[in-house]
Structure 1
Amino acid sequence: GYINTDVTPKPMGLTGSSLITARSVAVLLFLSLLLLILPPFLPPLPPPPATLLLLPLLLMILLIFLALSPSNEPSLYVEPLDP
């Protein structure tokens, strides 16, 4: 049989371990087609309760608060040495 003795490094992203595969593209296209085709055939849904509509707003406020709050991690700044 054939034994692969090639030890040269292969560039990442161009091999079979690529993140975007034909299967993932096919799944995304299938889901996109479903989103286009199904809504006219499905019955309309009742509106969600008002408390559920507040959830994205509360999440956004929480994320902004976390982004602007100071970190508890120690600073890694090192003073430059002046000769």
Structure 2
Amino acid sequence: MRVHDQRLRFDVTDKPMGLTGSSFITARSIAVLLFVSLSLLILPPFLPPLPPPPVTFLLLPLILMILLIFLAFSPSNEPSLAVESLYP
């Protein structure tokens, strides 16, 4: 009778953090965030005020939220997969 060693093995390597090509935060993304932030601060006093949106546009987020809640609590058609323990 053969017994297999089924322990998990993890390879832990140090990855450099910083503004590299593999990082999510780059100089370009920081520049875009600064540009958008400054435009939100500077442009509103110079732009004319907008009229209020129609009522149907105001109901759109409410309708989307109701749809998402309905989908979250509706049962799926997928069969349930029971997971059994390998060890007694």
TM-score if structure 1 supplies the norm length? Answer: 0.75
Where does residue 54 of structure 1 map in the other structure?
Answer: 59
Percentage of matched positions with identical amino acids: 77
Where does residue 75 of structure 2 map in the other structure?
Answer: 70
Deviation for aligned residue 1:72: 1.6
Where does residue 37 of structure 2 map in the other structure?
Answer: 32
* In structure 1, C-alpha distance between the alignment counterparts of 2:72 and 2:17, rounded to whole Å: 32
Q: 1:43 and 1:64, CA in 2 relative to 1: closer, same or farther beyond 3 A?
A: same
Alignment root-mean-square deviation, CA: 2.3
Q: Which consecutive residues of structure 2, in runs of 5 or more, have no partner in the other structure?
A: 1-12
| Amino acid aligned to 1:55 | L
Q: Which consecutive residues of structure 1, in runs of 5 or more, have no partner in the other structure?
A: 1-8
Where does residue 15 of structure 2 map in the other structure?
Answer: 11
Q: 1:56 and 1:12, CA in 2 relative to 1: closer, same or farther beyond 3 A?
A: farther
Number of aligned residue pairs: give it: 75
